Amino acid sequence: MSDSNLQVLIDGELFPEKDAKISVFDHGLLYGDGVFEGIRFYNGRVFKLDEHIDRIFDSAKAIHLKINVSHAEMCQAVINTIKANQLTDGYVRLVVTRGTGGLGLSPYRCEKESVIVIASKITLYPEEDYRNGLKLVTCSTRRPPHDALSPAVKSLNYLSNVMAKVEALAAGAEEGVMLNQQGLVAECTGDNIFLVKNGQISTPPVSAGMLDGITRRVAIDLARDLGHTLIERDISRYDLYTADEVFLTGTAAEVIPVRIYDEREIGNGKPGPVTKQLMQEFRKMVESSGTSIY
């Protein structure tokens, strides 16, 4: 979303969108060398801010990228950027790049990391998809294995997810299911995935090769607090085809139902009771909890 009045924070300084620039020698641009977080805020509160900041520091540490600001300063940078844009509801993209360096791969030629905060509005899916459910297809692009780049790292190198998204859109679907190297379900291109069968909720384990989403964790806790049985287990495409309900979770997507997967109707083709209950409870939670902005 472009807004001529948008203020972007770069290394502690606010710039109008048209003046918000990074160097062409930034290794985040040249090599995808950096990490990021997507963060939502609702009703003047940032949802799960500490958890998102914890994860970006963990991602940075995993790729040997030192962030020279504190956890508290990073939280404040997010809040300050939202305030500068006078927003109460929206989405933050927090990016930490390796910084400016030479044209070689070595990260040690980058003198200092760059911290970028963008606060704006976002609508990932139209409202009718939350009422009726998404269409999903299986993508041939696999999730990278743990010995390539840990799926726990939310890195700027998102090309495999982008290519999988291209496949899904080309097939007329809104989202694509990505498998791991064993052919089991890992996650979607930008969301985690759950199924309901005979009253039991299942989701792939972190070891399946996917990001341990913060909204995923919230959904797990909510489901258990509501009295549902929820297990983390290996999930195949067959399990999704024969599920009573399927839903996705993600910071931008929130909780959203699935109606069709690989041309198989999920359940009766409509959002099921468990999914609708979790959507409702999630909405209540985000509207009433989080770090106050103002």
Burial string for 226-236 (b: 16+ CB within 10 Å, else e) reads eebebeeeebe
Q: What are phi and psi of 7, to 5 degrees?
A: -110, 130
Burial of 241 (0-12, 13-18, 19+ CB in 10 A): middle
- Per DSSP, the three-state class of 155 is strand
Q: Quick count: other Cβ atoms within 10 Å of Cβ 217? A: 14
**Identified catalytic residue from 48, 112, 121, 154:** 154
Cα(23)–Cα(173) distance, rounded to whole angstroms? 36
Has 83 been annotated as catalytic?
A: no
Give CA separation, 71 vs 55, 74, 79, 149, 256, in Å: 11, 5, 13, 24, 31
The residues assigned a catalytic role are: 154
